[in-house]
A and B are shown apart, each in its own frame.
Chain A
Amino acid sequence: MPTAIAFQSVTKRYRNGKVALNSVSWSVEVGSRVCLLGPNGAGKSTSIRLLEGALAPTAGSVGLLGVAVGGRGYDEARLRTGIVPQGPGMYPDLTAAEYLQLAADLYGVSTERAVHTVGLREYLHLRMAELSGGFQRRVVLAAALIAEPELLLLDEPTVGLDPKASHDVHQYLTAVMQGRTCLLCTHNLAEAEALCDQVIILQEGRVIVSGRLDELRRGARPRLRLAARQGPEALRARLDQVGPVHVDGTGVLVEVADPTTAAPMLLRRLLDAGLDVYECTPVRATLEDLFLEAVR
């Protein structure tokens, strides 16, 4: 599979001495939708900055659509890439139409299709700072989509939006990410889970997890969620010998080797002990579980 994005032994040390990326290597294959996760300061935005060509790596090389960032052919590769930046400020003195026209001129295309895709036509005459948060993000998304890019880099596309606007942008992302190579940087794990099929988790400038989401899920230990009228502490007291138990709201999560055999056995044991168990459900590992486990 050809790679759309390639980081090879990349180190980025800022002038203040902070190491944002520490000899990391990862890649994104053409056609895949990859989520770049990590706590604040993990190196996600630095990775996007390196791909934008706005920063240069201290060591190693960064490749975009088969060419080295900043090297021969990079300008052409950038024209095939759309970027949604993280929480950008808006111009109080430019209309949405003027900004999109600038984007269209730089890409050498027309604004028509992108404006239609994100439903902006009636708002084009408004100054960008006058638009609501959701529409501002649509303008940014339209600019990224203006040249029908084959690669989309999305840096926290829904951060700072209210739930309704976030939902709207999410809908647009679901539509436009289909059939495109995408790299999504986000803190929103539910969004990442819904939109991506691969995950790369960074921590303190290093890759700590990388792989397909379904494979990572398969590798995670299965769990059961149990709830009883007597409360989670009573359950925990009875389940400590079975495996690691975590309180989860009104119930507990217990790690088991095989839910189909463990569930009936545990249920019998708990009911025999006088606990009124009213819930026993096998739980699939979520991205949040995988993430928290990785960064713990």
Chain B
Amino acid sequence: MSSFRPLHRSVRLLFRKEVRQFLRSRQAVLTGLLLPAMVMVVAPGVQLLSANSARARSNIPAVVPGLSGINDVANIFLYFTFPLFVVLAGLMTPSLAAVHTVISERERRSIELLVALPVSVTDIVTAKLGANLAVSAVTLAPLFAVDAALILLVTTAGPLFVMAAFLVLLSALTASIGVSLLLALVARDFRTANNLNGAFVLPTIIVTGLCVALVPGLWRFLVLAVLLLAMGGAALWIALRWLTFERYLS
């Protein structure tokens, strides 16, 4: 098995092929663009604007350390709901895209066409995950910019908050590499892949919810980023240690 070489010419050529195919796949584009648009802009945007116009006061018990002292609904959105959306978009968008690019290749046996070329399976999977990550990042970055502009315009949060939230997004995207790889090696068909993706959402939301509820101030973003990276690292370790690339071809 050849080594991991993300910048090698072979990986760059395969990466171009993956991006080209991704952009041609209606299903992949819908998943890769609509889902993040909904999760990153539409849902939080509506919540933010309604919370801001209502100026309502919430009734959060003081025992929740992360939210003590936050009574304004707009701030609850900023410190509790918004990170959930960011994590979901950053983690789920690349892994859902991976369902289309990685699983479909295996399901229709076109992976054989690639393995026959002078590239390693490591190169193939690297290019696929890289392409998913790149397409997701390119999609999410402008969407996050819309969020950031909204937050800076209509709330009291400053640039530090936006940077902290961006750190969470970057961590979620990085963690998605491990999640996508795990998904690619475990799932043999679309249904299993989608089920696994779904099964991953619940613990992600719980961990994120616990983190933002328990850690105060902007620290919650840092802790969340570390947790996401740990989760992605664990997924990567499981994928490489127990599953290995052989499974992708079996």
Contact A94 B21 (CB under 8 A): yes
Contacts of A49 in B (CB 8 A): 115, 249
Can you name the residue of chain A whose Cβ is closest to the Cβ of B245? A54
Contact B118 A93 (CB under 8 A): no
Nearest Cβ on chain A to B119's Cβ, whole angstroms: 6
Q: How big is the A interface, by class?
A: 35 or more
CA distance A55 to B116 in the complex (A): 13
Nearest Cβ on chain B to A241's Cβ, whole angstroms: 53
Contacts of A38 in B (CB 8 A): none
Contact B110 A106 (CB under 8 A): no
Contacts of B172 in A (CB 8 A): none
| Contact pattern, B 1-44, Cβ under 8 Å of A = 1, otherwise 0 | 11000000010011001001100110000000000000000000
Contacts of B241 in A (CB 8 A): none
Q: Pick from A14, A78, A91, A103: contact of B110, CB below 8 A.
A: A91
CA distance A107 to B2 in the complex (A): 17
Contact B21 A103 (CB under 8 A): no
**Residue count of chain B within 8 Å CB distance of chain A:** 29
B52 within 8 A of A: no
Contacts of A81 in B (CB 8 A): 118
Can you name the residue of chain B whose Cβ is closest to the Cβ of A93? B24
Contacts of B115 in A (CB 8 A): 49, 52, 54, 83, 85
Nearest Cβ on chain A to B143's Cβ, whole angstroms: 25
CA distance A15 to B249 in the complex (A): 13
Q: Which of B104-135 contact A (CB under 8 A)?
A: 108-113, 115-121
Contact B13 A102 (CB under 8 A): yes
Contacts of A140 in B (CB 8 A): 113, 116
Contacts of B121 in A (CB 8 A): 54
Contacts of A53 in B (CB 8 A): 1-2, 120
Q: Pick from B20, B112, B119: contact of A89, CB below 8 A.
A: B112
Contacts of B24 in A (CB 8 A): 93
Q: Pick from A84, A87, A93, A98: contact of B109, CB below 8 A.
A: A87
Contacts of B118 in A (CB 8 A): 75, 78-79, 81, 106-107
Q: Given A89-B108, A106-B118, check contact A98 B20 (CB 8 Å).
A: yes
